[in-house]
Amino acid sequence: MVASMTAFSRQQAEYDWGTLVWEIRSVNHRYLEPGIRIPDMLKPIEPAVREALRKSISRGKVDCQLRFQTRHADNDQSELNLALVERLTSLSQQITALSATSAPLSAADILRWPGALVEHEVDVEAMQKDALVLLGETLSDFGAARQREGDELRQMIQQRLDAIRLIVQSVRERLPEILNKQQENVRARLATFRVELDPARLEQEVVLLAQKSDVDEELDRLTTHLGEVERVLGTNEPIGRRLDFLMQELNREANTLSSKSIVAETTLNAVELKVLIEQMREQVQNIE
């Protein structure tokens, strides 16, 4: 399974008491680094949120935010206790009628009276449960988004693996011809000196040249690493770090192939290998 560390999900749900909105976004990071923003009223669920993130995500810098809005606007969280207001107004009028020095209650006086305003109460416990349920749905959508992008990354990596395998096959097929041609060039070069050469010594030098330029071992290791990358891509676990290590190994073999090159064609093949490996390495940095 290939999962990208870059993704975004937003889920919103309506309830009897109001609205909840979760937003989760992430970018690549060496480890899991969650950043959680939750309203004070819902802070008690933060440990559960961290645990849910830990179980769903292995790597990435994750920004997780929760917002809520009750049915009543912030400036309309309460309403008048009409029965009490009417009673206070009636009593104020009676007092004013009995005493000329008494002033009627003002609107501000009535609003300050205990119980004159009835606050809308929200079931915080129910809100917390709803928030955790919605978080699960958001994480599910978030995971699906990471998986979709991961599938695209896997395809891009597979394309480059196929291209590398073709290069390795081409070098392997051409290698005997390249070595024979190089040996002929050495013999021809020595022949221009018009001196008598010890045939045994000449053969020894040719064999030594062939050994120095033999890249069968590097080609075999490249093939082995390619197979391992494909195997890792098919596993159901976080694979980013393993793939990053394999990219280093592939690059090491490509460098050795380049250093042993004795003809321009092999050098160009080694350069192309390193380009393809670097392209894969850049994509691997985004894989969980």
Task: Tokens for 154, please give them.
Answer: 């896997």
Task: Tokens for 143, please give them.
Answer: 């995971």
Q: How confident is the model at residue 208 (pLDDT cuts 50, 70, 90)?
A: low
Check pLDDT > 60 for residue 194.
no
Q: What distance in Å separates the CA atoms of residue 192 and residue 156, rounded to the nearest whole number? A: 52
List residues bridging with 69 in a β-sheet: 19
Check pLDDT > 80 for residue 262.
no
Task: Tokens for 39, please give them.
Answer: 């309203």
pLDDT of res. 75? 44
User: Mind listing the pLDDT tens digit for each residue in 212-236?
Assistant: 556 778 889 999 999 999 999 999 8
pLDDT of res. 206? 56
Q: What CATH fold (topology level) applies to the domain 150-284? A: Butyryl-CoA Dehydrogenase, subunit A; domain 3 (1.20.140)
pLDDT of res. 267? 82
Average pLDDT, the chain: 84
User: Mind listing the pLDDT tens digit for each residue in 112-138?
Assistant: 777 666 555 678 888 999 999 999 999
pLDDT of res. 94? 78
Q: What distance in Å separates the CA atoms of residue 5 and residue 27, rounded to the nearest whole number? A: 6
| Cα-only R_g, the chain | 37
Amino acid at 49: V
> SS3 helix, strand, coil % of the chain, rounded to 5?
65, 15, 20
User: Mind listing the pLDDT tens digit for each residue in 75-116?
Assistant: 455 666 777 778 878 877 877 777 767 777 777 777 777 766
pLDDT of res. 74? 47
User: Mind listing the pLDDT tens digit for each residue in 39-81?
Assistant: 988 999 999 999 999 999 999 999 999 998 877 544 455 666 7
The CB-side HSE value for 169 (13 A sphere, CA atoms) comes to: 7
DSSP, residue by residue, 18-63: EEEEEEEEEE--SSEEEEEE--GGGGGGHHHHHHHHHHH-SSEEEE
- Please give the average per-residue pLDDT across 142-149, as a whole number: 95
pTM as predicted: 0.70
The SS3 assignment for 72 reads coil
Instruction: Provide the residue ranges of all domains of the chain, joining segments of one domain with +.
Output: 78-119, 150-284
pLDDT of res. 55? 94
Q: In what order do the strands lie in the sheet with 32-37?
A: 7-14, 18-27, 60-70, 32-37
- How many residues belong to the chain? 288
